[in-house]
């Protein structure tokens, strides 16, 4: 009986070792980003891309299939921290806004250059400008020029979101 139990434990150990050697990890890189205006308006967002295929820097522009981004959403908050608008600019690798602009350096993990994120039609809100120069929060009126709600010197911060440990065992994805 002890020999049978020992063989069973050894066999089970070998099967577990072989199975664990076939573990694949997630290839998605996910980042939070935030912008604070001088008048205390706030923009918070989240974007993701496949880190195994992304170049050192990438730029996305306009509607349609994106080159690298898989998703990007942004929410805007008033000075009392009330949600005033939220947009999914990129979903499943498709941008759905005409004026969308986004640039990211995967090496330095920084957003750079010109950006335009959020809405685009009457009553909607968007964040636009140039990183490290001037970023402004706008509202689109029914007529005339877009109304500036808030602005800052172009500061925006991106931080990686830690991914949970993912295992694929015998074709089944498991999150630890």
Q: Is residue 10 part of a domain?
A: no
Neighbours of 126 (CB within 10 A): 26
Residue 40, pLDDT > 60, answer yes
Q: Is residue 176 part of a domain?
A: no
Residues 82 and 76: their CA atoms lie apart, in Å, by 8
Give 57-88 pLDDT, tens digit per residue: 999 999 999 999 999 999 999 999 999 999 99
Number of domain units in the chain? 1
- What would the two tokens of residue 19 be? 């199975």
Three-state SS at 6:
helix
Range of the domain at 154: 28-160
Q: Is residue 82 part of a domain?
A: yes
Give 137-173 pLDDT, tens digit per residue: 999 998 889 999 999 999 999 999 986 655 454 555 5
- What would the two tokens of residue 147 be? 């109304």
Residues 162 and 149: their CA atoms lie apart, in Å, by 33
Q: Is residue 77 part of a domain?
A: yes
Residues 133 and 120: their CA atoms lie apart, in Å, by 22
Q: Is residue 169 part of a domain?
A: no
For β-strands 42-50 and 28-36, DSSP reports them as antiparallel
């Amino acid at each position: 009986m002890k020999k049978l139990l020992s063989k069973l434990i050894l066999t089970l150990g070998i099967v577990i070792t072989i199975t664990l050697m076939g573990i694949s990890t997630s290839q998605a890189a996910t980042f939070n980003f935030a912008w604070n205006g001088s008048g205390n308006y706030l923009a918070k967002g989240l974007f993701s891309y496949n880190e195994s295929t992304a170049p050192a820097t990438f730029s996305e522009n306009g509607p349609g299939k994106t080159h690298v981004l898989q998703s990007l959403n942004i929410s805007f908050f008033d000075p009392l921290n009330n949600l005033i608008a939220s947009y999914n600019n990129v979903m499943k690798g498709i941008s759905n806004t005409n004026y969308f602009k986004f640039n990211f350096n995967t090496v330095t993990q920084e957003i750079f250059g010109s950006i335009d994120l959020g809405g685009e039609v009457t009553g909607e809100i968007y964040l636009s400008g140039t990183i490290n120069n001037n970023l402004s929060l706008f509202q689109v009126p029914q007529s005339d020029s877009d109304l500036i709600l808030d602005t800052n010197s172009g500061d925006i911060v991106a931080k990686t979101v830690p991914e949970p440990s993912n295992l694929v065992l015998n074709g089944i994805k498991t999150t630890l």
